[in-house]
Amino acid sequence: MTHIRAAVCTEFGAPLAIEELELRAPVAGEVEVTLEAVAICHSDISYAAGGWGGNLPAVYGHEAAGRITAIGAGVEGVERGQRVVVTLIRACGTCGNCTTGHPTICERQGSGPASPLRRADGTEVVQAMNCGAFAERVVVDQSQIVALPDDMPPESVCLLACGVITGIGAVVNAGRLRAGEDVVVIGAGGVGLNAIQGARIAGARRIVAVDMSTEKLDIAREFGATDGVLATTKAPWRAAMKLLGRGADVVAVTVGAIPAYEDALRYMGWGGRMVMAGMPHSGAMARYEPVIPAFMGQSMVGSKMGDVVIQRDIPWMADLYRQGRLKLDELVSGRWRLDQINEAIADTAAGGARRNVILFDPATP
């Protein structure tokens, strides 16, 4: 057993507690990664608040990067010391969804060995979202990692684990965006900025960001939005349609807010596609008028983790970053230590942060 420090959720809605836990060695098909950085995602905050239920105690965190420090039996193609991004996408590779190119909805993603985390008294600690990355080290399935170049800073590498692939994949994979089409992105936070980047990279004609903050709309333009609309204005979809000259081809909802989902259909044109990437709390309900999408040939599609295939899409995005075509460094709004995680979470929950990152380098101020 390896002893590690981790931020543990012991009660929904309460601050996380820094504890020393025991981490078992990797078994067959697994790797141990000593983390360099982990970003704070709003999904972590929702889980810790009890928005989606789950068992406690648990360690959250699922946007991580680090170096391989141990390798289980049967793992090939990686080596100790290699830098990797650690994702929550654990895929069996053999179910119907995996074999047809949809590993993010693997039918067996919840199966596998028991959590590798324990307290000293033997109490099991849940490895939330298959990662438990608010910790110094993790043990994960080999399907969850992708090797990346050493010349990428770890705080940028970790963003490729969730927020970046979710946003870009929402418009490119789930939304099937074609060059010359128009896009509306509702929400200009971490995922929304990456949906905007994905639309820009895919060749969208116009990209309209919708948010409740003028500051966020200004940032959205830096990431590729051609226009911005305040969600607080009366009927903001009319302003968007005026800018586009028609309804949007793709509308990406990147926030878990019910009003955003109820308004999204209003932004779409004939044959438009709404991509549902934002995750409301369990039990939250939205209402819409089904005759409109039926008549106008519109569609709604859920998008989990951007429908990515990580071994295909993450290296592509890393290469775009190295070419200067994908902004990652600019997404990092704050760097924190593990013992500052509650402050970092509060700053993220306040809505101003793009991505706050926990760095495990002890030299970090």
Query: Each residue of 134-152: pLDDT tens digit?
Result: 999 999 999 999 999 898 9
Question: Which residue type, as a one-letter code, is found at position 256?
Answer: G
Interval 53-111: pLDDT, tens:
889 999 999 999 999 999 999 999 999 999 999 999 999 999 999 999 999 999 987 66
Query: Which tokens go with 69?
Result: 């420090």
**Residue 364's pLDDT is what?**
37
**Residue 311's pLDDT is what?**
95
In the chain, which segments carry CATH 3.90.180.10?
Answer: 2-161+327-359
**Residue 234's pLDDT is what?**
93
**Residue 354's pLDDT is what?**
84
Burial category of 203 from C-beta neighbours within 10 Å (exposed 0-12, middle 13-18, buried 19 and up): exposed
Q: Half-sphere exposure of residue 181, counting CA atoms within 13 Å on the CB side?
A: 24
**Residues facing 6 on adjacent strands:** 19, 135
In the chain, which segments carry CATH 3.40.50.720?
Answer: 167-304
Q: Of 317, 290, 352, give the one whose Cα is nearest residue 159.
A: 317
Q: Are 188 and 196 in contact (CB under 8 A)?
A: yes
Three state DSSP letters for 144-190: HEEECCCCCCHHHHHHHHCHHHHHHHHHHHHCCCCCCCCEEEECCCH
**Residues facing 86 on adjacent strands:** 64, 145
**Residue 363's pLDDT is what?**
42
The CATH number that domain 2-161+327-359 falls under is 3.90.180.10
**Residues facing 45 on adjacent strands:** none
The CATH number that domain 167-304 falls under is 3.40.50.720
Q: Are 175 and 273 in contact (CB under 8 A)?
A: yes
308 C-beta neighbours (distance < 10 Å), count: 28
Q: Of 109, 314, 38, 45, give the one whose Cα is nearest residue 194.
A: 314
Q: Report the alpha-carbon distance of residue 166 to residue 277 in Å, rounded.
A: 7
Q: Alpha-carbon torsion 180, 102, 149, 62, what sign? A: positive
Residues of the chain with pLDDT under 70: 110-111, 361-365
**Residue 109's pLDDT is what?**
79
Question: Which residue type, as a one-letter code, is found at position 323?
Answer: Q
Which runs of consecutive H residues, i.e. helices, occur in 284-336? Answer: 291-296, 310-323
